[in-house]
Amino acid sequence: MSLQLRSITKTFGPIVANDSLSLTIESGEIHGLLGENGAGKSTLAKVLSGFVSPDSGTVELDDEQLKLSSPSAAVSSGIGILHQEPLVFLDFSAVDNMLVGSPRDGNHTKDLAEEHLLKICEQFNFSIDPLIPVQKLSVGERQQLEIARLLWLGARVLILDEPTTAISGSQRENLFQTIRSLAEAGMSVIFVSHKLEEIQEICSRVTVLRQGRIMGTKHLPCPTSDLIDLMFDRELEPQGRKSSDSLGSICLELCGQKVTTHFESGKVDMTFRTGEIVGLAGLEGAGQRDLLRSIAGLDDTVTEGVFFRSRDIGDDSYIHRMQYGFHYLPADRGREGLVDGLTITEHVALASPQRSIATDWKLSREESKKIIDKFSIKGTPESVPASLSGGNQQRLLLGLIPDNPTVLLMEHPTRGLDIESAAWVWKYLMSLTEEGTTILFSSSDFDELMTYCDRIFVFFEGAIIQELASVEATTERLGSLLGGVK
Amino acid sequence: MFVRNDLLFLGLGILVPVCASMLVFLFVDAPPLRATELFFEGAFGSSQRMGDTLMIWVPLLLASSALIITFSAGMWNIGIEGQIIAGAVAASFVAREFEASTPVVLTAMIVAGLIGGMIWGGLAGLLRVRGGVNEIFGGLGLNFVATGLVVYLIMGPWSRRGIASTGGTEPFRPQAWFPTLDGLRVSPLSVLLAIGVLILVLWFLSRTSYGLRLRATGKNPLAASRFGIRTDAYLLLSFLLAGGVAGLAGVTQAAAVYHRLVPSISGGYGFLAILIVLLAGFRGQWILPIALFFAAVSMASFQWQLQLGLHSSLGGVIQGILVLSVLLLSGYRAISYMRKPISEEGDA
Amino acid sequence: MEAATVAIIIASSTPLVFAALGETLTEKSGVVNLSLDGSMLLSAMTGFASAYLSGSVEIGLCVAMFTSATVASVVAFAGIKLRLNQIAVGLVLTYFATKASALFGGDFVRKPGPSIQKMSIPGLEEIPFVGEAVFQQNPLVYLSIVLGFVLFVFMFKTRRGLDLHAIGDRPEAAFSRGINVNLQRYVYTILGGALVGLGGAAFSLDAKMGWSDGHIANYGWIALAIVIFGGWHPLRAMFGCYLFGLIQVSALELQPVLPDLAQVLPIAPFPLMIVALVFINLRVVHSVTDRLGSIGSLIRGRAPSGLGESFWPD
């Protein structure tokens, strides 16, 4: 038995997410799909599980062409997917969860579901009470429940999409054990991940994707550096920005502060200097976002021990910290950064600290014209955010930062931007640091991190695992640290 | 392409409700042409009728002005009827207790109505912001309470001497009446007040920094809070202001129309104003003509009743059909635009 | 309390039971039909008018159900297909249906018409207290009680009921399991609308016999409030309806005791019901019920997560 993908192509507008991908996965094999964010592996997983229909290409299971028109069609063809965040119903009991959407025939009754669940639990050493509300199960247990369900519905191919992102270490061990037994029983498993260590640990072969293309398939184990070569461009060599001597006094201090994510926490002891650029490297959800938001004052679970110019600001709110010159730029610019339906001029008025009741719209319009000019935004003062491209939205957000920010907190400053815009953004940010702004930003773009940072903190699973001076950072070093290999 | 489609939908937006109204006329055995003629006669046929149309226009304008504030903040202010009533009650209190010259009494009534409406609106806002209670049901409950309050006052403490009847309280002293011109029932003062308030509200929303922040809160509370806006405070502010403006509608109803407090003082104009604002697509400048048209339809209803023996709710049915068909057409237009391929930036 | 009083409470709450159960079904699927106050009026009118003209109560009930189901289908079409705001559409339909009921019902105001006849249940009516309270009513009352339990079984004990929860709670997950989310939403919205119509007819053909303009105004809003009060659970919604009936009867009993408030008492139950609803929804109260564990979750229900949001697969 084998799963064959023949020239799968999927585009979203101008972006080619999957570029004519062909791949064979044998029965009993655990096959890794490796690549950084945006490499196209999630799209491929969605194509295989019927959530997205490809522009062209076919999928065959045992030489039989499959019609993957919908998720349920994929399941009845024998392909099941386990999502990062399992698509389960929180209010339902475990056994009811198995029943939703299962065929209404004699083989899929509630009693049989319960029987099957208990059998699977015994077989794989799970402990799920069939009647427990799913709400009370951990994410790891919800995954186990989904696996049990997919097996019950006759899945022969199991796709796991970043399955370890939200589960604890012991749950991961359990999951890996389960996957191995499933493969031994003849199942094909596709393991989608960007964690090198896990791929090495569990997979027998791995296919590496980069920018929608297959860069190569390797038998495992193989040297990690080979995988990193396939994953990342290696053209850039480290180039530290400047020596730390030229930096100013200590601007921001964090001590004893916890960086909390939903599953792990760690202690932090960091100082940031005036004019410094610090990169927070890590995969999505590794904790960088939590750190940025807690410094901004948005996350009220983390407050203790934040000092700004030796002054304890731990209890100060987001609005209060804005007055100290803190500024936070979220990753989701359209949803969290800009107010759709308001014009650029209105955004300018919103961001400016005008005190009078009647807004001076003439002034705001002049101001917005200046910003449009200075930041080369393709739009007019009357444009609304929806009509701007991602790059122009980011330029606008930068333009809205009040004068002389002290601490700038940015998520993915150049994500979704073309090369020219990205370079422009960084030129502007560097000019801000000349005037004394401290910049902290999260990114998974190695070029950006190595080119512009004074220091880099690497996050892995909710904790900082390494601090690097920019001269120490190489693509290889960062790649393995991001994957959790020290 | 866009322009042609817009014209098409504009045409449909007029054609569909007109045809539907004609069908309704036929259904109730009324000659459509005669009914149309009566519409113009009934609403604008004489200076008196025109004045009466304006008399309905006033509360509709005020209630719409109130609603556009809460809609801008993204809130469904169903409690508007109660806010109108609260304003009327507060104004009636002043009219009953306060003896002075007309300008002084009227000013005091306007201020009282403003405050009464603000209290009622503020309560709904507090329930929403502090209590987490959906503003639709909070407002609804406050409407019921306000209705109960009016009935209690009219039947109890403020009842007419000798007889307690649901007909209303004793008429106010003439000093508490909005002045009228000879032969007209409408008070020019109330018309000026309504237009002035609408302009003020639109100015507030579009030109001031508070109005801007209020609109930002309504459009995207998350992004608004990133700009340092205290969104809860602005939600509450929207209810306070809307309540105050709605309270003014109560003042004019009590002091310029009925000259006393009656149980149905709000006249359902609050609810009708929701339809007006929906039809205007939340755009303030359209409120003036749409409210005038709705007032005219309501006036015409009386003529249809008198001349053709039709039920007075015919006007309401036509207003409902109009708003419903425009709403459905706008939804249809939106999805037909959406079907066109748009470039998508996927995070693959 | 006497059995006769209980019988009155049950009989007078029956129309609300139908409406609240119907809306519970609709909202459970993720659609809000806010037009209840208008569609109940309209269906009460059409139900009465057609029963009056045909002389048949059964025809009246069917026409009423059809009327309200039609209004509901407009909500469904606008909310699901046109992706319009369901609240806006519901409010406009409320206004339209209220006015239409007055316009087209003009000829039937205060006419004596047919009504549903009492039908005691042999054997059961002999039971002391319960017999008089419950089993000497008309078939519509029995139907409403049976319906409550049927819906309870349907929602919580059947596979289709499971699907209903799924589409209301997490439509994208339900879709991934192969459930046709929007088709089912249409079905439940229209079905729920039909029950609301039955509630309207239960007013005009039984509880408040006959038709006059706006004579059951505000009951639709109360039904909507009871759906929330009942935490989207059919039996608790029924309980809410009977509670409202109890408040109404008590208010009338209080009239001689509080003559000053005689005029206010009949309308007092409406704000009281909303006050009860507001109370259980206050955040402060939430924090208490949250601590009570399973008892707390009995007091306070959870809205279907996908309520009022339209869902479109990519």
Residue C309 lies in a domain: no
Could you tell me the two tokens for B313? 């709710």
Judged by a CB distance cut-off of 8 A, whether residue B272 touches chain C is: yes
Instruction: Quote the minimal CA–CA distance from C31 to chain A in Å.
Output: 18
**Cα separation of C302 and C168, whole Å?**
12
Using CA coordinates, name the residue in chain B closest to C220: B140
Determine the 3-state secondary structure of B20 from DSSP: helix
Using CB atoms, pick whichever of A17, A38, A330 lies closest to residue B226.
A330
Q: What is residue C193's predicted lDDT score, i.e. its pLDDT?
A: 98
- Tell me the Cα Rg of chain A: 25
Give me the phi and psi of B180, to 5 degrees please.
Answer: -120, 165
For the cut 80, the answer to whether the pLDDT of residue A300 exceeds it is no
**DSSP helix/strand/coil, B308:** helix
pLDDT digits (tens, 9 = 90+) for B65-104: 999 999 999 999 999 999 999 999 999 999 999 889 999 9
Of A15, A349, A416, the CB nearest to B212: A349
Contacts of A358 in chain B (CB under 8 A): 207-209
Q: What is the pLDDT of residues A386-395, one digit of tens each?
A: 888 778 888 8
Does C156 lie at the interface with A, CB-CB under 8 angstroms? no
Q: Which of B219, B348, B228, B226 is nearest to A410 (CA)?
A: B226
Q: What is the CA B223 to chain-centroid distance, rounded?
A: 30
User: Mutation test of the interface with chain A: which of C164, C167, C176, choosing the one with the most A Cβ atoms within 10 A?
Assistant: C176
CB contact under 8 A, B207 and A38: no
Residue B299 has pLDDT above 80, yes or no: yes
Q: Cβ contact (<8 Å) for B227 and A351?
A: yes
Q: What residue has token string 């000829």?
A: C107
B18 to chain A, minimum CA–CA distance in Å?
32
Check whether A244 has a pLDDT greater than 70. no
Residue B348 has pLDDT above 50, yes or no: no
With beta carbons less than 8 A apart as the criterion, state whether C155 and C164 touch: yes
Give the mean model confidence (pLDDT) for residues A250-270: 65
Looking at residue C78, the DSSP 8-state letter turns out to be I
**Cross-chain residue pair C103–B317, CB shorter than 8 Å:** yes
Residue C66 has a pLDDT of 98
Query: How many domains are there within chain C?
Result: 1
Which string of DSSP letters, residue by residue, matches C48-76?
Answer: HHHHHHH--HHHHHHHHHHHHHHHHHHHH
**Binary contact (C281, B134; C-beta < 8 A):** yes
Chain segment B200-233, per-residue pLDDT in tens? 999 999 999 999 999 999 999 999 999 999 999 9
- For chain A, give the percent of residues with pLDDT over 90: 40
CB A71 within 8 A of CB C175: yes
In B, which residues are within 8 Å of A368 by CB distance?
A: none
Q: Looking at CA atoms only, how far is residue A263 from chain B in angstroms? A: 25
**pLDDT value at A193 more than 60:** yes
Is the Cβ pair A340, B209 closer than 8 Å? no
| pLDDT at A259 > cutoff 60 | no
If you average pLDDT over every residue of chain A, what do you get? Answer: 86
Amino acid at B313: S
- pLDDT computed for residue A355 by the predictor: 67
CATH of the domain at C87: 1.10.3470
In a domain, C310, yes or no: no
By Cβ distance, the residue of C34, C225, C268 closest to B148 is C268
- In this complex, the residue of C34, C96, C264 whose CB is nearest that of residue B151 is C264
Strand duo A277-281 + A438-443: pairing? parallel
Taking residues A58-73, what's their average pLDDT?
90
Is the residue at C45 inside a domain?
A: yes
Percent with pLDDT over 90 in chain B? 64
Contact residues, chain A, for B219 at CB < 8 Å? 339-342
Residue A56: pLDDT above 70? yes
Residue C112 half-sphere exposure, CB side, CA atoms within 13 Å?
A: 0
Cβ contacts (< 8 Å) between A351 and chain B: which residues? 227
The CATH class that applies to domain A2-231 reads alpha beta
Which band of pLDDT confidence, cut at 50, 70 and 90, is reported for residue A260?
low
Range of the domain at C210: 3-299
Higher pLDDT pick, B287 / B11: B287
Contacts of B272 in chain C (CB under 8 A): 95
- What pLDDT is attached to residue A354? 64
> Which ipTM did the prediction report?
0.92
pLDDT tens per residue across span B132-191: 788 898 999 999 999 999 999 998 889 887 776 778 898 999 999 999 887 888 899 999
- Give how far C28 is from chain B: nearest CA, Å: 18
Instruction: Decide if B275 touches C, using CB distance below 8 A.
Output: yes
Residues of chain A with Cβ-Cβ distance to B213 below 8 Å are 350
Q: CATH second-level architecture of A244-482? A: 3-Layer(aba) Sandwich (3.40)
Measured between CA atoms, how close is A100 to chain C, in angstroms? 6
A104, closest residue in chain C (CA to CA)? C159
B136 has a chain C CB within 8 A of its CB: yes
Return d(Cα B141, Cα C271) in angstroms, integer: 5
Model confidence at A262: pLDDT above 50: no
Nearest to B344 among A12, A322, A361 (CB): A12
Rounded to whole angstroms, how far apart are CA atoms C86 and C71?
A: 13
Asked if residue C175 lies in contact with residue C311, where contact means CB atoms within 8 angstroms, the answer is yes
CA distances A51 to A45, A48, A68, A71, Å, are 9, 8, 8, 5
Q: Which of B209, B210, B226 sits opposite A328 (nearest CB)?
A: B226
What is the average pLDDT across A60-87? 89
Q: Is residue C164 part of a domain?
A: yes
Higher pLDDT, residue C125 or B293: B293
> What is the predicted pLDDT for the residue at C283?
66
pLDDT score for A359: 81
Q: What is the DSSP letter of B247?
A: H
Q: Is B132 left (phi over 0), alpha (psi -120 to 50) or beta?
A: left
What's the DSSP call for residue A34? E
Q: How many helices (H) and strands (E) does chain B have?
A: 13, 0
Nearest to B18 by CA among B302, B289, B280, B318: B318
Q: Is B152 near chain C, with CB under 8 Å?
A: yes
Q: State the pLDDT at residue B302.
A: 87
- pLDDT, tens digit (0-9, with 9 covering 90-100), for A120-148: 999 988 889 999 999 888 888 999 999 99
A–B CB contacts, 8 A cutoff, strictly below: 84
Chain Cα centroid distance, residue B157: 29
Contact B313 C100 (CB under 8 A): yes
CB atoms within 10 A of CB A184: 10
pLDDT at position B162:
74
B289 vs C: CB within 8 A = no
The tens digit of pLDDT for each residue in C49-99 reads 999 999 999 999 999 999 999 999 999 999 999 999 999 999 999 999 999
* 3-state SS class at A272: strand
Mean pLDDT of chain B: 90
User: What 3-state class would DSSP assign to B262?
Assistant: coil
* DSSP of B90-152: HHHHHHHH----HHHHHHHHHHHHHHHHHHHHHHHHHHHHTT---HHHHHHHHHHHHHHHHHH
- Give the pLDDT of residue A145: 94
Inter-chain touch C100–B275, beta carbons under 8 Å: no
Q: Would you tell me which residues 52-91 of chain B have a C-beta closer than 8 angstroms to some C-beta of chain C? A: 76, 78
pLDDT band of residue A261 (cuts 50, 70, 90) is very low
Alpha carbons within 13 angstroms on the beta-carbon side of residue A106 total 0
- Amino acid occupying residue A329: L
Q: Is the dihedral of CA C41, C47, C51, C57 positive or negative?
A: negative
pTM: 0.90
Instruction: Flag if B313 and C267 touch (Cβ within 8 Å).
Output: no
Kindly indicate the confidence band of residue A417, based on its pLDDT and cuts at 50, 70 and 90: confident
**CA angle at residue A269 from A265 to A271, to 5 degrees?**
135
Highest mean pLDDT among A10-24, A173-187, A417-431: A173-187
| pLDDT score, position A246 | 64
With vertex at residue C42, the alpha carbon angle to CA C41 and CA C43, rounded to the nearest 5 degrees, is: 95
* pLDDT at residue B225, rounded to an integer: 92
Residue B244 has pLDDT above 60, yes or no: yes
**Same fold yes or no, A2-231 and A244-482:** yes
β pairing state of A79-82 and A157-161:
parallel
Positions of chain C with pLDDT under 50: none
Question: Would you say residue A472 has pLDDT above 80?
Answer: yes
Question: Nearest Cα to A157, choosing from A117, A130, A108, A192?
Answer: A192
What confidence score (pLDDT) does residue C106 get? 86
Cis before A413 (ω within 30): no
